[in-house]
Structure 1
């Protein structure tokens, strides 16, 4: 049964035992997981590959439970289509006092796992799509109102822009702001820049912007001046994805409007310091090439996950390729 993600907290779900949360919004999935498992004690977390490596042992652990065991909640993270047969088997066996929450990435309409959970009324299936300006703005405003913290619209827009679509990053920065705001009457832009990770994120964001604008000189200077780690590579790719999607949305509006009006009217609002480089990007890219870029970003992410030790070199190859082919 399909339930929209924002409706999960509004419905009584105590009688449901099987949940599938899929999609790219990891932060929102984690929030919903916490919501449906609150006040539960016997929670067991597994990665999909841990189960697949020893299916028989996993099934046996569900069946042979102690008489004194309370209800057990199984959380399966980083799940994919590979887990389908095991989940189907568990559901058929109707094992008592077991609830399962599956956290998966994106699943296509052809997915057997997704289809099973969508069609069966006894199962819950929810899709978690990327946050947009509206949802992130609501998170910020709700938090600030609850904590009685005043921030200017400029700072709020900057926080939303720099979190690159991740509510997890946004909430981490808001917690820092809450701690900083204790016994402080006013918070300035400079305070926020020093307090949060915006300074580190700025170098990553600047790297992506100059690659998309094909500013080769600035691009090489940023690369030479920053010693990015393997762990930061994934963050840089996410920034690439976020900014490329935004570029695609902007470019689609440029058909019947001039660039200046498109940028000025875009939501979420584009920070004034970023407007000039975005103009360069819009003048450089076509819709067809942006679509190709989005495909290449996903391919690069998969390649990095398979070869994490080589992630920096893979990223640099990707960056240099994009900077060179834009006008081809």
Structure 2
């Protein structure tokens, strides 16, 4: 059964089985928090698909066992794919009443067996999560700032949104920095915003990503050598790649209808800043649509690896960047 995210509240009484898919991880988190807040940390269990496939017995024991102190359980399973379909079919068929299961996936194409099953199954709910628009991010930013009684100019708000790379998780992290600083009763100026929203004390994630996508190997290596990112910074780098590649993908698709690169860039929504137009034009020449889509898949895998192995996140991100900066053929 297909649903929109804003319909979950009225439909969740009809099912205990949900599939959330799409790239908007921040919105998924917001929806889970808003609609399943009755579950505490003690009765919420988190798995990855690999965890369950590697040890099905432990998973089934958790589902079928019931503690005297637990009324219901919330089970979150991330990074799911078609591999988990048979197991989930078995669980849904058993019709357990006191367990809510939410499967969380990245992209699922129309041929996905898991997606097709949830779309047709009356006992389950599938919800797509699309990327946020600039208007949505602006609304989120204004709401958070209003709740914290912080007054920022439109210029400063737009700067924060731009530096969050279209990701509401990044946006909320940047706004939290603003909130923390404002507690000192300091009036925030543009200079403060610029300092706060940089990637630690290193080069910005955007500069690293742009040089990699532009095949500027020397500059990319210099940035990698001088940066000392944390695992959180590396997640930000991955998401910056994702957002810039999604934009490149849309531009590439638009070029099929209009072969004039300048017109495609100038008419793109949201508008591309003038200072970015030349580098984007260069990236369009370098990256074919197929290469972009393959890179996006690789990034999803890289993010999962970083989350599972934060202690070697720098090695993981560096290996991925070096592979990409060296191996894509330039089409000029």
Cα distance 1:5–1:255, how it changes in 2: closer, same or farther (>3 A)?
same
* Corresponding residue of 1:175: 176
Cα distance 1:294–1:94, how it changes in 2: closer, same or farther (>3 A)?
same
How far the C-alpha of 1:38 sits from its partner, in A, is 0.8
* Corresponding residue of 1:138: 139
Gaps of 5+ in 2: none
- Structure 2 residue matching 1:14: 3-state secondary structure: helix
* Corresponding residue of 2:290: 292
Correspondences of 1:2-41 after superposition (within 5 Å): 2-9=2-9, 11=10, 13-41=12-40
Gaps of 5+ in 1: none
Once residues 90 and 33 of structure 1 are traced to their aligned partners in structure 2, the CA distance between those partners, rounded to angstroms, is 21
The 8 Å contact of residues 134 and 268 in structure 1, kept in 2 or not, is answered as no
Cα RMSD (Å) of the superposition?
Answer: 3.2
Residue from 250, 262, 268 that aligns with 1:259: 262
* Corresponding residue of 1:114: 115
Correspondences of 1:157-306 after superposition (within 5 Å): 157-182=158-183, 184=185, 186-198=187-199, 202-213=203-214, 218-227=219-228, 232-250=233-251, 252=254, 255=258, 259=262, 262-263=265-266, 266-271=268-273, 275-282=274-281, 285-286=284-285, 289-298=287-296, 300-301=298-299, 304=302
Cα distance 1:200–1:27, how it changes in 2: closer, same or farther (>3 A)?
farther
* Corresponding residue of 2:51: 50
- Deviating more after overlay: 193-202 vs 88-97: 193-202
Please give the per-residue CA displacement for 1:220-260, whole angstroms capped at 9, x wherever unaligned. Answer: 54344335567755543432232233244456379487838
Once residues 76 and 284 of structure 1 are traced to their aligned partners in structure 2, the CA distance between those partners, rounded to angstroms, is 36
Q: TM-score, normalised by structure 1?
A: 0.82
- Structure 2 residue matching 1:46: 3-state secondary structure: strand
Once residues 14 and 202 of structure 2 are traced to their aligned partners in structure 1, the CA distance between those partners, rounded to angstroms, is 43
* Corresponding residue of 1:326: 330
Rg larger in structure: 1
- Deviating more after overlay: 212-221 vs 75-84: 212-221
